[in-house]
Structure 1
Amino acid sequence: METPTVHQTSPTALPFSLSVPDRREDLRTQLVSSVGALIGTEASLQTSIPGVTLYRYCAPTLPESATYEPSVALVVQGRKRVTLGRTSFDYDPSRFLLTSLDLPVTSQVVEASREVPYLCMRLKLDIAMVRELLGREPDKAGLARSGKPAMTTAETTAEFLDAFGRLLDLHHAPQDIDYMGGLIKREIIYRILQGAAGQRLRSIATIGENSQRTAKAVEWIRDNYTKPLRVDMLAKVACMGVSTLHHHFRALTSMSPLQYQKQLRLQEARRRMLVDGLDAAHAAFEVGYESASQFNREYSRFFGQSPMRDVRSLRVVGDDE
């Protein structure tokens, strides 16, 4: 059996009787028990710890569109696949998912059962906290390179599992959440920055980097997706040339600014029809479409069927569950 390499671990960090793989499995088992006990039979649970959400599925799911915010997703049981553009990321107990920007994706649980449900912890990232930690480390400008998607997976270490376990334990000690929660979240961000995935987060958070400027453009579209989009205006928001913005925007999000806006609009229209009961025409105008026929065409192309048929099928699935 190949002996794993341990990074940044002091000689006294592990009990002599417990190997790294054993410690990692022990910590994962503890998290399975803790997450399962808290979430019960619910599909999702917003915990009392700010930014921490739990998820549970008892069967694989069909691909569905969603927008992932800057976050870390730690699967403790099962497996999930997220597709950004043409790139798919699989994550399971051995690898966590890091998302550095708001990204429209397609996601599906690919491994889950009633006996062994999919269980996941998601921690929303505070970019201001990331910048605070970056300000304390030596100059690593050479590491803050752009040109790669703002989403990646990385190895789930024992230290990472331990930090998430201590963070979740705060649910049972509400008096400690305000102080200890911030400390443990900083530890998690620190471990990301020190690992292979740190470059993605560093480039988004480093002021003046092309990725950080592009992130401003992403944020503007997210906050103003119902408004007409002029790329020259967006380039001014990012303090970049139009062609430079296009290049970096596609590199980070795997789509153009207009494609990004379209996906946000279509996903929000779908939500408003499903949750708020709007018809297709009203949902289209609410999210910024001026033509109902254009909305119907783009919705059918993106989701695979007409708006009302899609919503009806989603409601049937919801009723079955």
Structure 2
Amino acid sequence: MLDRLAAAIDRHFGGVGSATAVPRLTLVAVDQPIEPTDQLYDPMICFVADGTKRTTAGELRHVAHAGEMLFTTIDLPVTVELEKVPYRSAVVRLDSQALTELLVELHETGPATPPAVAGQVTAPMTPELVDAVTRYVQLLDTPDDIRPLAARIESEILYRLLRSSLAPILREWSLADSTTTRMREVTRWICARYTEPLSIDEIAAVARMSPASLHRHFKATTGMSPLKYQKHLRLQEARRLLVAGDASAAQIAQAVGYASATQFNREYRSTYGLPPGQDAARLRARLTHTPTAPTQRA
């Protein structure tokens, strides 16, 4: 069954990672080893049909093999490494409204004992789920079927997920005031303001938690503290700007929110192992000799 899914991805991917005409569906295909990449994941589920992917967020690491799925519950800056290629995956961005409506229809609520908060979790795919995801991708074979059938198959995928080992965290994810939902709101709030000076008290107010409770739940979810999370967002964007443009390191430091170019250079080197200019030159050289790195939802 995984072969059918991988073959459907092969027929339709438009690059390393590409959006499709099917709502909320992205396809990823990589045949050669590539440089580990920094990416910002949003809430989504990655269904791995072939190969192996490792993600690192702060102190947390997750590995998803062929036949497994990786559920990202929040906006999360990660480093992605493809440990085994060829790599094929279908990535479905979660529709919270559709999930909530299905839970209401099924008369299901959150678990009696809430699961531990987690920014990412892996689980095996059932045969029924693999079949549903494959048919979702196969809609691209017959574009006229996308509009009448996509929502129905997406609903089936969500139903199959609610019958998988991911069910407790998915139910918790859908609740309006759960800890997981609060962490999702907080990470999204920081992402929208990462260039601004932020305080723990401000972030705790958004989470409707005490600073101590915020720190505990945030680190359990993301693998890092709220301010380190903000720093990762700044450095990821700075690295992207350095590789893509011709602005100076000092200009980019200011653009991503650093008041001190010296502090930016120090934190950049601590994270990536080289000063900004040298790291950008190395990455540009690699990009001219290796396949394009995965896009945001690899």
TM score, norm. by length of structure 2 = 0.91
Query: What is aligned with 2:294?
Result: none
The answer on whether the counterparts of 2:2 and 2:67 sit within 8 Å (CA) in structure 1 is no
Equivalent runs, 1:196-235 vs 2, <5 Å: 196-235=165-204
- Which one-letter code corresponds to 1:82 in the other structure? T
> For structure 1, which segment, 142-151 or 255-264, has the greater mean C-alpha deviation from structure 2 after superposition?
142-151
- Which one-letter code corresponds to 2:229 in the other structure? Y
Residue 78 (1) aligns with residue 38 (2): no
> For structure 1, which segment, 263-272 or 28-37, has the greater mean C-alpha deviation from structure 2 after superposition?
28-37
1:148 alignment partner, one of 117, 123, 132 = 117
Q: What SS is found at the alignment partner of 1:135?
A: helix
> Relative CO higher for 1 or 2, CA cutoff 8 Å, sep ≥ 6?
2
- The Cα offsets for residues 176-217 of structure 1, whole Å up to 9 and x where unpaired, read as 323321222222222222221222232222112122122211
Equivalent runs, 1:175-214 vs 2, <5 Å: 175-214=144-183
> For structure 1, which segment, 244-253 or 80-89, has the greater mean C-alpha deviation from structure 2 after superposition?
80-89
> For structure 1, which segment, 195-204 or 143-152, has the greater mean C-alpha deviation from structure 2 after superposition?
143-152
Residue 39 (1) aligns with residue 13 (2): yes
Residue 30 (1) aligns with residue 30 (2): no
- Which one-letter code corresponds to 1:81 in the other structure? R
Query: What is aligned with 2:211?
Result: 242
CA deviation after TM superposition for structure 1 residue 138, in Å: 3.2
Looking at structure 1, the residues matched to 201 and 153 of structure 2 have their Cα atoms a distance apart, in angstroms, of: 41
Looking at structure 2, the residues matched to 201 and 110 of structure 1 have their Cα atoms a distance apart, in angstroms, of: 27
The answer on whether the counterparts of 1:163 and 1:188 sit within 8 Å (CA) in structure 2 is yes
- The Cα offsets for residues 20-69 of structure 1, whole Å up to 9 and x where unpaired, read as xxxxxxx21112222112237x3222221122111222223343222111
Q: Give me the CA root mean square deviation.
A: 1.8
Residue 92 (1) aligns with residue 65 (2): yes
Query: What is aligned with 2:32?
Result: 59
CA deviation after TM superposition for structure 1 residue 318, in Å: 0.7
Looking at structure 2, the residues matched to 139 and 158 of structure 1 have their Cα atoms a distance apart, in angstroms, of: 23
- Which one-letter code corresponds to 1:58 in the other structure? D
The answer on whether the counterparts of 1:150 and 1:200 sit within 8 Å (CA) in structure 2 is no
2:135 alignment partner, one of 132, 156, 166 = 166
Looking at structure 2, the residues matched to 120 and 310 of structure 1 have their Cα atoms a distance apart, in angstroms, of: 29
- Which one-letter code corresponds to 1:251 in the other structure? A
- Which one-letter code corresponds to 1:36 in the other structure? D
The answer on whether the counterparts of 2:123 and 2:165 sit within 8 Å (CA) in structure 1 is yes
Q: What SS is found at the alignment partner of 1:189?
A: helix
Q: How many residues align?
A: 290
User: Measured at CA, do residues 267 and 215 of structure 1 come closer, stay the same or move farther in structure 2, by a change above 3 Å?
Assistant: same
Q: What SS is found at the alignment partner of 2:218?
A: helix
The answer on whether the counterparts of 1:171 and 1:177 sit within 8 Å (CA) in structure 2 is yes
Higher radius of gyration, 1 or 2: 1
User: Measured at CA, do residues 201 and 303 of structure 1 come closer, stay the same or move farther in structure 2, by a change above 3 Å?
Assistant: farther
User: Measured at CA, do residues 241 and 96 of structure 1 come closer, stay the same or move farther in structure 2, by a change above 3 Å?
Assistant: same
Looking at structure 1, the residues matched to 39 and 66 of structure 2 have their Cα atoms a distance apart, in angstroms, of: 22
Query: What is aligned with 2:247?
Result: 278
Looking at structure 2, the residues matched to 79 and 143 of structure 1 have their Cα atoms a distance apart, in angstroms, of: 34
TM score, norm. by length of structure 1 = 0.85
1:269 alignment partner, one of 227, 238, 242 = 238
User: Measured at CA, do residues 280 and 95 of structure 1 come closer, stay the same or move farther in structure 2, by a change above 3 Å?
Assistant: same
Query: What is aligned with 1:133?
Result: 102
- The Cα offsets for residues 244-271 of structure 1, whole Å up to 9 and x where unpaired, read as 1111111111111101111111101111
Question: Unmatched 5+ residue regions in structure 1?
Answer: 1-26
> For structure 1, which segment, 55-64 or 206-215, has the greater mean C-alpha deviation from structure 2 after superposition?
55-64
Query: What is aligned with 1:120?
Result: 89
